[in-house]
Structure formats: structure tokens, C-alpha cells
Structure 1
């Protein structure tokens, strides 16, 4: 599959998820906004500046950081997500810019941002080397990249697979069927799945081994944040899927 086709497949897949994912994020705004604000502010490279939220989705991080005084731009590969984020920002009375962009190759000049953040985005990359080099290009000297993600599809061994199945079974017993925001056709989802580089890659080991190759320094990895940022339901459902955080700087 050509790069252009991969970009189109990823964007179309998330177009189908926009409405459902917005509902999930709205719940997080109501229950978890403060813990996310504290986390992002604790690792910021400066008091304020230009921030880029990559894979902004419904705009959760973008709105949160605009409230904290940052000049915010949010980008996403899904046009529907950008429409949703723009609408949510207007509702919140927030001044932020949202643009439909290929997160592997943006249209911004180099050294445009002091702080780049993203959550649950790197797992959808089809060319991580290209994406991380692009994000490094976008950072100003002294800037910082912060991202959070997990091994959503990669399973290390049968013991981990069994643990995930036990967690989901208990979740179903207590809370019902886990939410799936995808409402599109099977072919679109199949094409999306074919693009995913990290489906068979152990992380954050890959990140530890590769980020310095793209120019980043001071790479710091927190292997698990589940108990710090998830609510009770997600702590159960994702108990065996650690949410890791990576920060990396541009010297």
C-alpha cells in the first residue's frame, strides 16, 4: 500500500469514530481533566508558548492546554475529528487552531512549537521514523515532545493474553460490553489494520532504542500511568495493558 493510500485509510477509519470517541472524551473531561492537566503541566518545557496537539481527536488536550495559557494548534488525520474539536473549543470559549493534516508530514515551518503532546496516537503510525523526524523538525530548540500510548494490539506472550482476557471478562461482568467507537465498514477497518507498524512491536522498548536516532535527547520513559490517570472502569479494563509516557527534548 502506497503512503498516500495509508494516510487516506487512517483518516477515513477515524472519521467513522469521531462521534463515538467524542462521547468518551466528554466523560474524561468531567472526571479526569485535572489529573491530565497536572501531568501535562508538570512536564512542560516552559511556563507557556506554542503547543501542538498531534492527533487531537475531539480536542481534549488542546482545550485543556489553551485554558492553561498556551497558544494551541491541534492537528488530526481525520477531518471529522477536526470538525468535532473545533466545535468543542467554541463551546468551551477557547481560542485554538485546528487543522486537518497528515501527522507524518505536516505543512508547518520547522521550529514552530515549544511543546508537542499526543495521547494514544503513535500506535496508528504507519511510518514512525518519518513521523518522529517530522515532530523533531517542528520543535524549537529547547522544546519537548510528550506522548502517551500502550501496546494495544501487541501481546508479548500467552500469559499476558490470558490476563487481558480475564480483565475484560471481569469488566463485562461489572460494566457490560466495552465501548467500541468504530461504526464504519469492514473493508475500511481492514485497510487501517494493514497500515499499523506497531501491531507487532514491543513498546516502549522500541521508543527507548530509536528516539535518539531521530535527534531527540534526554529521553525519559514512565512505563505505567494507569493508576494515575484512569478512572475505576479503565483501571480494570486496561489493567494488563500499561499506559506508558515518553518525554524527549530537542537540544
Structure 2
């Protein structure tokens, strides 16, 4: 394991409890239906069998659980063992419907052309070798299958002075609105130090992703740069005003 990957894993291992709580709240809010509808809007259609779904970087299992509730055949992978345990616990009645595996997103232990739909959220920015990961995801996707990647320019502000100002303004806005600041209970210094060394913190996305995916061989790219309007509550919109969530989707 690379030193950087080890640091990322340790960070998320410590964040597991807090992140798990956020996911449980999502499962019990409007977000469950909003995310289910959004993913199903872009998912490929199959007939006479279950849709085969891979959730990469499942964390506490939110995507895996809502996809299993649709009756799909779901596999969920994560690099952090603690997260996988949280996901299994959170799955409840859907636990037996989801195959959980500890796996590195850069090197998936699946056959070529296995999955109809790959979904991932807030993962790519953590990766040491994102191009390699995208190639691997393309490999395990079936022809006509789709990858839906939801992410944001979370740490562009560690390299970009203008983005830093906007990020600081987000912090002020949460205070003025008397909203919880989602960065307060995290180890900001530790994550910013890791982020400085992660390749995607420097890139303007999803432009970077689009170019890479086309080079890898995705036939069709779909972009939505205002995903937060559909799936975020008011508190999240204020917290992340300068880092809007995007979807970059690719069809094989």
C-alpha cells in the first residue's frame, strides 16, 4: 500500500462513525428517494434479469442499500474495513442482497464486462491514481453499461487562492445562517495536508474527468454540474456553496 493511500485509509477509518451517522440520516430523509430517482434516471435498462450494480467506495453503504431496495443485484466495495462493517450493519433487511468486498478502487477483482451500472460518490478526489481507476472501472463495465460518478472540487482551495476565499466565505455563511458547519468536526488540517498531495485537488473538474474518460474509451459522456439542487438540503447548499457537486457519467 502506498503511503498516501495509507493516510487516506486512516483518515476515513477515524471518520467512519461520523460519516455513518450522516448516511443513516440520508436514508431517513427526502434524499433516499431523490438519489434513487436520480440514479434510475441514468441507469441502463436490462430485460429478463436483474440490473448488476457495483458501488465503489460504498462507505457506510447508502448507495448499495438504495439500489438493493430497487431489487437490483448489488456488489459494494470499499478499501476501509471499518466502513464495510458499518455498511453491513446499516443494510438491515438488505444485508443478504448485497455482496460486500474489501477492494482497492484502482484494482478491482472482477472479470471484464461484469456490471451494467457502476456508481460512486465522493471517492475519485481521494485517489492516488485516478486515471488508473477510471481504466479499471471501464474494464469491468459491460458494453452499453454506465458509470455514474458524483464528486466535487472539494479541495481545489488548497492550491487556488480565489477558491480559498470562496471556501472561507462558505464558513462565514454557515455562521451567519446559524447552520452547522460540516467542516468543524473534522480534522481539517490533516485532510488538507493529504489533499495537497492528491492529484485531483489541483484539477478543474469535471473537465479533467471528461477528457480522461473519452481517452479511455467511453463512447458517451453526460454532465450535470448542479446535482446538489436535487439531492442536497439547505444546510449542505450553504456549506458547499463554492464546491457544487457534479455528475460525470460515461457509457461504454
- TM-score, normalised to structure 2's length? 0.89
On the 8 A contact 1:66/1:94 being kept in 2, the answer is no
Alignment counterpart, residue 69 of structure 2, candidates 67, 88, 109:
67
What is the count of residue pairs matched by the alignment?
Answer: 246
Shift in Å, 1:58? 0.4
On the 8 A contact 1:74/1:98 being kept in 2, the answer is yes
Q: Would the alpha carbon gap of residues 195 and 228 (structure 1) be closer, same or farther in structure 2, given more than 3 Å must change? A: same
Q: Would the alpha carbon gap of residues 12 and 161 (structure 1) be closer, same or farther in structure 2, given more than 3 Å must change? A: closer
Query: Partners of 1:181 and 1:201 in 2: how far apart?
Result: 26
SS of alignment partner, residue 17 of structure 1: helix
Match of 1:170 in 2: 173
SS of alignment partner, residue 55 of structure 2: strand
Match of 2:125 in 1: 123
Shift in Å, 1:229? 1.0
SS of alignment partner, residue 130 of structure 1: helix
On the 8 A contact 1:144/1:249 being kept in 2, the answer is yes
SS of alignment partner, residue 111 of structure 1: coil
- List gaps (5 residues or longer) in structure 1: none
Match of 2:26 in 1: 28
Query: Partners of 2:145 and 2:185 in 1: how far apart?
Result: 34
| Cα distance per residue 1:60-107 (max 9 Å; x no partner) | 000000101110011011110011101111355651011111111011
Is 1:87 the counterpart of 2:86? The answer is no
- List gaps (5 residues or longer) in structure 2: none
Query: Partners of 2:108 and 2:100 in 1: how far apart?
Result: 13
On the 8 A contact 2:9/2:79 being kept in 1, the answer is yes
Query: Partners of 1:200 and 1:158 in 2: how far apart?
Result: 12
Shift in Å, 1:159? 4.4
Shift in Å, 1:167? 2.2
Query: Partners of 2:119 and 2:137 in 1: how far apart?
Result: 10
SS of alignment partner, residue 38 of structure 1: helix
Match of 1:10 in 2: 8
Shift in Å, 1:160? 3.9
Query: Partners of 1:125 and 1:144 in 2: how far apart?
Result: 20
Shift in Å, 1:172? 2.3
Match of 2:164 in 1: 161
| Cα distance per residue 1:209-249 (max 9 Å; x no partner) | 22111111101111222211100100111122111101101
Is 1:78 the counterpart of 2:80? The answer is yes
Q: Would the alpha carbon gap of residues 180 and 92 (structure 1) be closer, same or farther in structure 2, given more than 3 Å must change? A: farther
SS of alignment partner, residue 75 of structure 2: strand
With a CA cutoff of 8 Å and minimum separation of 6, indicate the structure with the bigger relative contact order: 1
Q: Would the alpha carbon gap of residues 109 and 182 (structure 1) be closer, same or farther in structure 2, given more than 3 Å must change? A: farther
- TM-score, normalised to structure 1's length? 0.89
